Amino acid sequence: MRIVALGASGNAGREVAVLLGPVLTASDDLVLAGRDPAKLARTAGAVTSPATVTTARVDVTDLDAVRDLVAGANLVVVTVSRPDLVADLARIVLDAGADWFDTMLSTPGKLAALRALAGEIVGKRRCFVTDGGFHPGLPAVLVRWAAGRLDEVIEADVVAAMRMDWRADTLADSTVAEMFDEFADFDLVAWVDGRPRRLRWRECPTVDFGPPIGRKACVPMPLAEMDALPRRYPGLRRCGFYIGGFGPAMDYLVLPVLMAMAKVQALRPAAIRLARWSFRRLASYPPPHRLVVRLDATGSRDGHPATASISVQGEDGYLLTAAPAVACLRGMLDGSVRRPGLHLQAHLVDPEPFLRDLTAFGLEVAGDVTSGV
């Protein structure tokens, strides 16, 4: 099998390649593709795999070069942050007869571009998986885990927060620009009282994540995987993904300025420079580092009130993105979750083996179910 990894010279792409390597077999070929040959060489040097590992310098804006690269591929893994190119890249992958997996953020534009190809994807028996990683990619898996342990799930809020070093100097401009697009989509809407509702700021929860993160004010973050859950579980009265901020100075002073600048195309380069400086100075922390994703669900089991709680934690933000991605990729490669069509990672995977894989990849997973009398 030939696997092409677009964006393997980036931070997340490197972690995905490192975890994916041991999953492959001696009959596989893994092509690490990106713009920076030196970074690709470092990524290749970090990969331990029975597969044949090679590198290819390619700029994803050069669509002809991408088309030549993915010819003959079985699977294309896209970790590059270019949602504006998804329509073109997905078309190239589909025409090449390959499957697709991406870790880009859950933006309306990206999802619309992929959904426009949904009929062809099914017709060509391809498996396209989007919204891979941890946000998106993990929150709805935790809700599905809880739903498998409760007879009915009524409330299922997932919260997340982080204390990390953003490695701001290594962030690609496209990654920062993708963050701007994500922030622009924030509208404080969550599933509350059995319907989507825009929350007031005072309704947003403050959550104690324990040391070293502490208490964080959290806001709802739109994710397609969470929006789909009320249809899957009609008894849900409350459901959302809430994420903690970067820190007071970043959240309340810098981000509003960045968002205003990002809306003016001529100011985008300056906004990216300011963002990189801000992530380094105002949002990055010395060790200890910690990222936490946690679900506290309520419902019923055996006719009694019950709760189901589960958390996924780690110290490396890029590992927390790569581990869920490779857990899904493993299922695509071995056929256990591969189905023709367009899928969200969180709704495609089987929660049990998926969470076991996260533990095997070095994350901390702990769950508990309690029933009342």
pLDDT tens, residue by residue, 243-257:
998 888 888 888 888
What is the residue range of 120's domain? 2-130
Residue 178 pLDDT more than 80? no
Distance of CA 74 to the CA centre of its chain: 22
Please give the order of strands across the beta sheet that includes 99-102. Answer: 52-57, 29-34, 2-6, 75-78, 99-102, 127-130, 341-344
- CB proximity list for 198: less than 8 A, separation 6 or greater: 187, 188, 189
Percent of residues, the chain, with pLDDT higher than 90: 79
Confidence at residue 252, expressed as pLDDT on a 0 to 100 scale: 81
Tokens of residue 330, six digits: 């493993």
**Chosen domain end from 108, 130, 152:** 130
Hey, is 232 helix, strand or coil? helix
Task: With respect to residue 358, please indicate whether it lies within any of the assigned structural domains.
Answer: no
Average pLDDT over residues 114-120: 98
Q: Are residues 108 and 82 in the same domain?
A: yes
- pLDDT value, residue 185: 60
- Rounded mean pLDDT of the chain? 93
* Predicted local confidence at residue 347, as pLDDT: 98
For residue 262, pLDDT beyond 80:
no
pLDDT of res. 187: 75
Of 233, 222, 232, 239, residue with least CA distance to 295: 239
Residue 202: count other Cβ atoms within 10 Å of its Cβ.
5
pLDDT value, residue 268: 84
Whether 93 and 162 share a structural domain: no
Q: What is the pLDDT of residue 329?
A: 98
Measure CA of the first residue to CA of the last residue in the chain; give whole Å. Answer: 53
DSSP string, 301-332: ETTEEEEEEEEEEES-HHHHHHHHHHHHHHHH
1-34 pLDDT, tens digit per residue, is 999 999 999 999 999 999 999 999 999 999 999 9
What gap in Å lies between CA 22 and CA 26, rounded to an integer? 10
Regarding whether 297 and 169 lie in a shared domain, the answer is: yes
**Looking at the 3D structure of the chain, how many domains does it have?**
2
Q: Looking at residue 140, what is its pLDDT?
A: 98
User: pLDDT at position 250, please?
Assistant: 85
- Residue 92: predicted pLDDT: 98
CATH number of the domain encompassing residue 48: 3.40.50.720
Q: Say if residue 168 is in the same domain as residue 56.
A: no
Residue 145 in tokens: 């885990």
Residue 189 and residue 51 share a domain:
no
Using one digit for the tens of pLDDT, what is the confidence trace for 58-68?
A: 999 999 999 99
Confirm if 75 and 1 have CB atoms less than 8 A apart.
yes
**Is the pLDDT reported for residue 141 higher than 90?**
yes
Residue range 180-227, pLDDT digits in tens: 776 666 678 999 999 999 999 889 999 999 999 999 999 999 999 999
User: Do 212 and 110 share a domain, yes or no?
Assistant: no
**Domain co-membership, 73 together with 190:** no
